[in-house]
Chains A and B, each alone.
Chain A
Amino acid sequence: MRFNAEDIKTSHSRVAIVATGVVSPLGSGLNETLASLKAARDCITPVSRFPVAQCRCQTAGQVDDEKLAEIRTNRKARRLHRASHMMIRALDEALSQDGQFRPEMAVIGTTSGGMSFGENYYRALDQHHDLRHTPRWIANYPPQKPALDALEAFGVSVPCHVIANACASGTNALGHAFDCIRSGKYQRVLTGGYDTLCQLVFVGFDSLQASTPEKCRPFDRDRTGMVLAEGAAIFALENLESAQARGANILAEVIGYGISTDNHHLTQPNPSGIGPRQAMMDALQSAGISGTQVDYINAHGTATVFNDAAEGKAIAELFDRVPVSSTKAMMGHSLGAAGAIEAIISLLAIQHQFLPANINFRAGDEGVNLNIVANEPRSAAIDIVLSNSFGFGGTNASILLQRFHQRPVCDGPIAA
């Protein structure tokens, strides 16, 4: 949505991040994730969950099932989908940081939820296999189910909005949660995203030739496509005053959010970069900051020819040599979880004052002036990070995180 000169300027609630949790190919939990980022570790491995012999791409970023073993300790948990296990793991980490956090609502992003259970059911039906498990698969297949399972595991019964805006879902979830608190309607919202690898989606991206048989090289001039991944991440967001009043630990703030829709094509961005540009501009304007105040951009950077060209163009137009990296080169593209996981990476960059690396990078597109954090992480003074997510359907989302300052360094929305 666009800002107009007559937009109303009101005092907005500040939005604090008070707890987080994550599980991804980079590791289970914040510590393992940080270690992988600091080591610029390539966590892409050969796909082991389903046959890929007929696919161009045969690698992915996968979560080690051993990391989820502690979740599957009772009969009910064993019946749940892996996506539920990942969500429970991420939520457990977040709530262990702040046991007093009582959300009023959950806003979670995904693209396919428990899709592999749907695949099991279809194959059993088609090939006349044993159908005894079908009720379990069907009951746990709906995309919203892993979010509800995680809430149930911790006895949290709140309205749960599950956003399926393709690859932007995670950032859209964070952004909408941010908007809900900032408007003053809510005090505490649980947000995040999840997705697991499944054959249907893997083969689908392969059919589009969007995934690569080679290394994932975001923003490289010889990039050949993405590598898929899986994971889950959770954020506990709270009105800053409320969080401070109860003595919560403030990890950082969310300060801005932008969303746009690019109607160019169902699967390809407008080459002009208008969609990403509008989302990033709206995020900056909602935060009341200029592009010069951004210290690092965690790009969507899928390494497809079209995405990186459009996003790179928009970044180069809006920002002056701000360091940029796509961490998808290390862990792959986890679709509905990507925005939430990359927001965690952005938070870690703020907390530990470093720029995560864009590995597998050799040389950028000619004529596109980007400051890529090539191959190695770098120490840097980081106050504000922009994280981008763009998806099928032309959905674009950008979110801004800032290191916590007792006094605000920006005053909220400004006119364009």
Chain B
Amino acid sequence: MSLHIAGMGWVTPLGRGLEKVWDRLLRGEEAAAQKVSRGAGEPQYPTFLVPKDELGDLPPHPRLRRASPISRFAAAAGLDALETARSAIGEIDATRIALIFAISNGGVIYTARFYGEVVKSGAQSASPLLFPETVFNASASHLAAILGITGASYTLVGDGAVGMLALKMAENLMTDERLDCCLIVGAEEVDWLLCDAYRRWRLLKSRPPIEPFRAPPKGTVLSEGAGAVVLGRKGPVAVDQIHGGTNFWRRNQAAAAIVPVLSNLTDARAKLLISSANGTFVDLAEMVAIHETIPDACVYSCKPALGESVGASALWQVIVAGQSLLSGKQPPLLHLATKDSPGSAEFEPTQSALVLSCGMNQQVAGLRLSI
């Protein structure tokens, strides 16, 4: 079975639109950090947020009227991906497409608001309007309704690797000849509560930038947005192999979990690795594994520029890999801490690229693309 990326779309802190964001990454731009806080006098956390004017042209669908930002990001990225896919595979029959949604923290803004009211004022104040939006598959449901999908729709939950797991699930679903394609969407939204949790988890940096491969790691900056990929039977970028991944139980075991994933994926042509380095322990684990498996590869991470968007991040990485292969260009890796770290190798246009996704809560997966 031959699988291809037929379309891509993303909504990021650097804007929306495949080429627009890609051009900004190529120019070495990074998103401007904004502080979020629970209120005056409360701790402030740096985040990379999606510019407010990027979603102005979303269709006026009733499902989006009360939807939280995560659903709006997902709708925008999904619609953009399908639009680009049409040029590769023609019109798309909604009865022959499956939707797979990757999510990590979900609709935290409405969840915090809903539960906050319960804690503050008691169960009688719980909002029946907010509660349904707190359910993990609410965003997928909205997108399915907008697109008219009546068949398979799955929401997967996981850490930063969940987008890669969603692609693996799509590969499994595509063994069914009744499907023409799968739309895979990863999305995330950010608020103060999520930042506070990651800070207490000792993963958050108090101020930008994200410094990839720095030892010791200083932490990451959370971001929001969505990435979407249409996986079909034809398209400009081939998906050679998806490694379904593995798990690590302790942070110091992460490198040992990554090595077999990279070893399994790498081939002689793969000279480019899109890493999930985000300024945390993940970077050092990846550095060890890269040195052991593909020491000469050119390594790039988009997270210093776009932030750590968890549920969306693996899809963003895949889009970066696809764009690199198609354009023969590679953005500069920002804020690289040391000259001998994996990101220092010079980029040469290549026909094959690896994408590695190591999450911050035990999951690892990866894939190899080619043109």
A residues contacting B by CB (< 8 A) are: 1-4, 7-8, 51-52, 54-55, 105, 110-113, 119, 121-123, 125-127, 131, 134-135, 138-139, 141-145, 148, 151-152, 157-166, 172, 176, 179-180, 183-185, 199-200, 203-209, 259-263, 266-267, 278, 391-395
Contact = CB atoms under 8 A, between A and B. Distances in A.
17 contacts: A1-B98, A1-B179, A2-B95, A121-B197, A131-B200, A160-B165, A161-B165, A172-B154, A183-B172, A184-B175, A185-B172, A199-B118, A261-B151, A263-B144, A392-B132, A393-B135, A394-B141
Contact of B159 (A142, A180, A391): A142
Given A152-B247, A206-B126, A267-B132, A164 B178 contact: no
Contacts of A134: 197, 200
A127 B247 CA distance: 35
B119 interface: yes
A177 B164 CA distance: 18
Interface string B114-135: 1110111011101110011111
Contacts of B138: 266, 392-393
Interface of B: 63, 95-96, 98-99, 103-104, 111-112, 114-116, 118-120, 122-124, 126-128, 131-138, 140-142, 144-145, 148-159, 162, 165, 168-169, 172-173, 175-179, 193, 196-197, 200-202, 244-247, 249, 257, 361-363, 365
Contacts of B116: 122, 126
A139 B142 CA distance: 29
B132 A4 contact: no
Contacts of A54: 122-124
B365 A165 contact: no
B224 to A, nearest CB: 18
A415 to B, nearest CB: 11
A165 B196 contact: no
Contact of B247 (A8, A51, A160): A160
Contact of B136 (A161, A166, A260, A262): A166
Given A126-B116, A143-B157, A203-B118, 11 more contacts: A1-B96, A110-B157, A122-B115, A157-B257, A160-B247, A164-B103, A166-B135, A179-B173, A259-B152, A393-B141, A394-B145
B104 A111 contact: no
B111 A159 contact: no
B153 A200 contact: no
B134 A159 contact: no
Given A143-B157, A199-B118, A262-B150, A392 B178 contact: no
A392 B247 contact: no
B141 A259 contact: no
B157 A113 contact: yes
B15 to A, nearest CB: 29
Given A160-B363, A162-B158, A261-B153, A7 B115 contact: no
Nearest to A183: B175
Contacts of A7: 177-178
A395 B153 contact: yes
A333 B177 CA distance: 35
Contacts of A176: 154, 169, 172
A200 B135 contact: no
Nearest to A1: B151
A138 B247 contact: no
Given A1-B176, A138-B197, A200 B114 contact: yes
A342 to B, nearest CB: 19
Contacts of B197: 121, 134, 138, 141
A139 B172 CA distance: 30
Contacts of B137: 164-166, 391-393, 395
B63 A266 contact: yes
Q: Which 5 A-B pairs have the closest CB atoms?
A: A393-B141, A1-B151, A159-B244, A204-B131, A164-B136
A217 to B, nearest CB: 22
A159 B132 contact: no
Given A131-B200, A138-B201, A266-B132, A395 B165 contact: no
B152 A1 contact: yes
A300 B338 CA distance: 58
Contacts of B63: 266
A141 to B, nearest CB: 8
Given A159-B246, A207-B127, A393-B135, A142 B98 contact: no
Contacts of B120: 126
Looking at B96, B98, B137, the one whose CB has the most chain A CB atoms below 10 A away is B137
Given A159-B245, A159-B365, A260 B168 contact: no
A400 B155 CA distance: 22
A139 B151 contact: no
Contacts of A395: 137, 141, 153
B136 A143 contact: yes
B244 A111 contact: no
B157 A142 contact: yes
Contacts of B149: 261, 263
Contacts of A151: 247
B99 to A, nearest CB: 8
A260 B98 CA distance: 10
A142 B169 contact: no
Nearest to A127: B119
Contact of A207 (B126, B173, B363): B126
A55 B123 contact: yes
Contacts of A391: 137
A144 B114 CA distance: 22
B178 A393 contact: no
Given A1-B95, A185-B175, A163 B135 contact: no
Nearest to A263: B145
Given A1-B178, A159-B168, A164-B155, A204 B126 contact: yes
A16 B136 CA distance: 31
A12 to B, nearest CB: 11
Contact of B155 (A8, A163, A180, A266): A163
Nearest to A106: B247
A211 B156 CA distance: 26
Nearest to B253: A157
A138 B194 CA distance: 10
A392 B172 CA distance: 25
A138 B112 CA distance: 14
Contacts of A267: 132
A158 B145 CA distance: 33
Nearest to B154: A163
A393 B134 contact: no
A394 B172 CA distance: 23
Nearest to A55: B123
Contacts of A394: 141, 144-145
B245 to A, nearest CB: 5
A273 to B, nearest CB: 14
A165 B154 contact: yes
